Amino acid sequence: MISDLTRVLIPAATAFIIGILVTPIITHYLYKYRAWKKHPGKIAFDGTQASEFYRLHRQNEVKAPRMGGIVIWSSVLLTILGIAIIAKFVPSVKILELDFLSRGQTWIPLAALIIGSAAGLIDDLMVIRPNKDGMALRLRLFFVVLLSSCAGWWFWHKLGVTSVNNPFGTPFELGWLIIPLFVLISLAVYASGIIDGIDGLSGGVFGSIFASYSIIAFAQNQIDLAAFSAAIVGGLLAFLWFNIPPARFYMSDTGTMGLTLSLAVIAFMTDSLGGGFGIAVLPIIGGLLVLTVASNIAQIVSKKFLGKKLLRIAPLHHHFEAIGWPGYKVVMRYWVLSIVFAFAGVIIAIVSI
């Protein structure tokens, strides 16, 4: 009999090893086909050129390839399918216990990860073409709304999820309104993908977040979901191994879109469905994601209504760069804060069970 903890840790270690092994192959083709932006810079939300961003990142943007997120989702996919296939053809008791591909716990978050990553990959392929932009923002948002609406309907209609647990009282009964709530949370989490802006930043922050939900799912005895979240952590660590400054590649949309959509699904699966508070603790565990989105909103509001910038550049991590912090200092401090937020969220989630 394999312990539940081993069932969680082995997928994490396997995804990490696979990620380390496939990265040289992925890197070879990314550099061979020059998979980076051909022109540096980006357009701000008001339609003007983001001059501070251009000053800070004009060199790296045209040297490091995009699509590093392939390392993350490919290592997770190879891990979960590899173990499932081995379990099918080598039906020993121990191998069967390691198989965490299950309809009840991993099909939905895996689908969100793969479909979201595929859409992000299409956007990345559009970005790296000469004199071309990526997928229009409204089209990406439409895709997120469509996918999250389908997932929200599945939670409501198929799984019977109609409420959100409240750590401080009775659950909030929403009925079919659980669907628009799922869409709103998915959009909010997707917006936080802009944290992918400095070498090593997004990988470390997302690693802490998914590790937290792996612990929460484990405490709820959702072992397959815990193993899936742990496998994502393994893939993120493999990505981070090569993304620490100077980064070999950027995560870009094929990483952030898949990760943020699967995170929204996992938060819902660890809420009323798992007898926990996965949604309530999401703003705590993902505190830095909230701060990143909030800083962007504050910048837009300040420019529109006050006529001046609140920050040198938004989101906040770029502001710290603009005022003189080295990139590695921003990243290290964000990693520390992400771990602190993760501990706080996990404690609240587990104590309240």
| Neighbouring-strand partners of residue 163 | 173
Is residue 253 a known part of a binding site?
yes
Sign of the CA dihedral running 116, 84, 13, 9 = positive
Give the largest Cα separation in the chain, rounded.
67
Q: In Å, what is the CA distance from 284 to each residue of 244, 281, 326?
A: 25, 5, 26
Q: Please name the residues in contact with 56: beta carbons below 8 A apart, sequence gap of 6 or more.
A: 313, 318, 321, 322
- Specify binding-site residues: 253
- Specify binding-site residues for Mg(2+): 253
